[in-house]
Structure 1
Amino acid sequence: MERVMEIGRYSRQVLFQPIGVEGQLLLRKARVAIVGMGALGTALSSQLVRAGVGFVRLIDRDIIEPSNLQRQSLYDEADAEQGRAKAEVAAEKLRAANREVEIEIAIEDVNSQNAERLLADVDVIVDGTDNFEVRYLINDVAVKHNIPWSYGGAVSSYGTTAFFRPGHTPCLVCLFGPNTSGGGHDTCDTVGVIAPVVSIVASYQVAETLKYLTGNSDSLANSVTYLDVWKNEFRSVKFGVSKEACPCCQKRQFTSLTGRANGLTVSFCGRRTIQVRPSTGLGVSLPKMAQQLANFGEVRHNPDLLRCDFGDKQITLFADGRALIHGVDDEMTARSLYARYIGM
């Protein structure tokens, strides 16, 4: 009966010979975590859930805003108006597309304290983030626990992707060096992004993930792929060998995992938003905070988050004490607002 159900829903995928019935059954047993439910994450999750991956964990720290709608395909205007959590809305849309898949959400900011809890129990980790700090965390977890992961990045009209397999390919540190937490990378804030490059990079990531999960590892690209849809450029550079002196995959020094979680994250793609995260695990009562903040601005809340609108500035507060401070440019102002209304 199980085989009939698989063929019925996934008949066109099963007809693709490298997958077939056996590959489809392997997908049903597979577990995937997607880090980031923005532009890449929405495209990645839609393809993986519709392909029949049995378990998908959606991890995201952010809420939906109007500037997301140009490229983040699972969300609509009503979601943005309500300022709902991306992971929550994505899960609703994806469950409606395929109820056979178990979808779990984590409305969290991936950091050194929770990365292993969120990522170490799956078959593949898929990168839908927009910053290298989190990618180095993913790489540490992947190497430490021998889990393949799919790297993807898209900005402006260009993107890069690679599928890393610990023990078989170099790791992220081999390719780009140790994490120095430095800037200098293009972001959506500085150069923008168009939707076509997002879809193409996500499709490459999903294709590599499906190859691995269906037992077709011999077909993996084993390369770093770069493309620019506006300039009509495409390059694929084959992996070399792992660097003998690599501190991560050779010496097994997981510096991103052993570092302290940052108290502040500044870069949010496409708007003036600064994240404040307490250095200690501060839990808050959202209903109680809603009552307190109602004296200062319009408040909306649900079990996952609270949104308070002060006019020119807004605060989105999560149950773990993390907050997004909207309408500010500098860390001092963000911390001041957090201390004033939430308490440090």
Structure 2
Amino acid sequence: MREDRYSRQVLFRPIGVAGQKRLAEARVAIVGMGALGTVLATQLVRAGVGFARLIDRDIIEPSNLQRQSLYDEVDADEGRAKAEAAAQKLRLANRDVEIEAVIEDITWRNAERLLSDVDVILDGTDNFQVRYLINDVAVKHKIPWSYGGAVSSYGTTAFFRPGETPCLVCLFGANQGSGGHDTCDTVGVIAPVVSIVASLQVTETLKYLTGNLEALSNRLTHLDVWKNEFRSVNMGGAKESCRCCHHREFTALLSQSDGLTVSMCGRQTIQVRPSTGFTVPLSEMSTRLSQFGEVRYNSNLLRLNLGEIQITLFADGRALIHGIEEESTARSLYARYIGM
């Protein structure tokens, strides 16, 4: 550990030399490398956490640049994978940290593999389905996790510790993943609220990782930067009726169909995930698809330009269909060019 790099942080008494050493030994996973995730990853990597796994299924587009602070116009022009681009930028910022980029969609199949070997899980996602997966893994494996959400000008955050605080199901019930929530597609989002929510998430994470447990807020915090509102409520204890943390029923991790289409936040893009797992040979797929339009590919993804419609295909068979709004059309295009 290069102490000169972290000297100002070490001077902060609650952290000190001992806390900095604990940080250097800590492992975190950040789920989602969008607006929240880029701030989370930047602050934790620069703080000197020992290992950071960056997980994201998406690619960089121009509309991301307004609030996703790790990316630039070249990344957007090339349609780079967010996790890969973020890892590259952060390795330049701090070579002390081991950074792993994971270009995958978090599902019941891979959630435990990707999230159960870290000290803290941080939520940088934009949907409750993934948050319930995180919550189930966290409770099952007794791993603290940081919840954060930001949309429009408001945001919410909480730091959950299995066995010490309620879990996400205790607070919000078991059906929040069924839709009906504001998204950046419907109400927009401004960058300041993202930075504030992510900074609160990192602060609680630093408290935990450096052993300052008495400083943890144990509260659910809500803020609206436009309306100048900031309030928090005590989370209390776990509910005896909770199916997750009390009865240990991890329904989000149960086997389920993977043949899903999902509308992506903020643009005309549909994700198609095949119902059975397979590995796509991108080099062979490039040759096959080049007859239809311009193809660019690397070891992680392939992009096919069909004019008004573009297809981004990942090595796990997942695809983003850009330029459409109908899920049925996305499935049809996937079947035509990739094969179901």
TM-score, normalising length: structure 2: 0.99
Deviation at 1:261, TM superposition (A): 4.7
CA distance in 1 between partners of 2:150 and 2:263 (Å)? 15
| Deviation sequence 1:211-235 (CA, Å, 0-9, x none) | 0000001100000000000000001
Tell me, yes or no, if structure 1 residue 19 matches structure 2 residue 15: yes
| Deviation sequence 1:27-78 (CA, Å, 0-9, x none) | 0000000000000000000000000000000000000000000000000000
Deviation at 1:283, TM superposition (A): 1.2
CA distance in 2 between partners of 1:269 and 1:47 (Å)? 24
Match of 2:175 in 1: 179
Match of 2:204 in 1: 208
Tell me, yes or no, if structure 1 residue 269 matches structure 2 residue 253: no
The alignment partner of 2:95 has SS state of coil
CA distance in 2 between partners of 1:309 and 1:71 (Å)? 26
**Deviates most, 202-211 or 253-262:** 253-262
Deviation at 1:330, TM superposition (A): 1.3
Match of 2:56 among 54, 60, 64: 60
- Provide structure 1 residue ranges, at least 5 long, that are not aligned to the other structure: none
Over 3 Å counting, the alpha-carbon distance change for 1:112 and 1:261 in structure 2 is farther
Tell me, yes or no, if structure 1 residue 155 matches structure 2 residue 129: no
CA distance in 2 between partners of 1:341 and 1:45 (Å)? 35
The alignment partner of 1:58 has SS state of strand
Match of 1:94 in 2: 90
| Deviation sequence 1:121-162 (CA, Å, 0-9, x none) | 000000000000000000000000000000000000000000
The alignment partner of 2:84 has SS state of helix
CA distance in 2 between partners of 1:274 and 1:342 (Å)? 15
CA distance in 2 between partners of 1:248 and 1:181 (Å)? 15
CA distance in 2 between partners of 1:262 and 1:320 (Å)? 12
Contact 2:108/2:133, CA 8 A, preserved across alignment: yes
Tell me, yes or no, if structure 1 residue 194 matches structure 2 residue 172: no
Tell me, yes or no, if structure 1 residue 72 matches structure 2 residue 55: no
CA RMSD in angstroms, aligned pairs only: 0.8
The alignment partner of 2:177 has SS state of coil
Tell me, yes or no, if structure 1 residue 127 matches structure 2 residue 134: no
Tell me, yes or no, if structure 1 residue 146 matches structure 2 residue 151: no
Match of 2:241 among 221, 229, 245: 245
Match of 1:341 in 2: 337
Match of 2:45 in 1: 49
CA distance in 1 between partners of 2:114 and 2:17 (Å)? 30
- Amino acid across the alignment from 1:235: R
Match of 1:305 in 2: 301
Contact 1:277/1:323, CA 8 A, preserved across alignment: yes
Match of 2:101 in 1: 105
Contact 2:128/2:176, CA 8 A, preserved across alignment: no
CA distance in 1 between partners of 2:257 and 2:79 (Å)? 26
- Amino acid across the alignment from 2:42: S
Contact 2:272/2:321, CA 8 A, preserved across alignment: yes
Q: What does 1:222-261 correspond to in 2, within 5 Å?
A: 222-261=218-257
- Amino acid across the alignment from 1:300: R
The alignment partner of 2:271 has SS state of strand
The alignment partner of 1:63 has SS state of coil
The alignment partner of 1:9 has SS state of coil
| Deviation sequence 1:208-265 (CA, Å, 0-9, x none) | 0000000001100000000000000001001111110100000000000004154224
CA distance in 2 between partners of 1:268 and 1:213 (Å)? 33
Contact 1:264/1:331, CA 8 A, preserved across alignment: no
Contact 1:136/1:179, CA 8 A, preserved across alignment: no
Over 3 Å counting, the alpha-carbon distance change for 1:180 and 1:70 in structure 2 is closer
- Amino acid across the alignment from 1:231: K
CA distance in 2 between partners of 1:318 and 1:261 (Å)? 19
Contact 1:113/1:261, CA 8 A, preserved across alignment: no
- Amino acid across the alignment from 1:110: I
- Amino acid across the alignment from 1:49: V
Contact 1:208/1:220, CA 8 A, preserved across alignment: yes
CA distance in 1 between partners of 2:5 and 2:257 (Å)? 43
Please list every run of at least 4 consecutive aligned residues from structure 1 whose deviation after the TM superposition is greater than 6 angstroms.
Answer: none
Match of 2:289 among 290, 293, 311: 293
| Deviation sequence 1:144-200 (CA, Å, 0-9, x none) | 000000000000000000000000000000000013631110000000000000000
Deviation at 1:328, TM superposition (A): 1.2
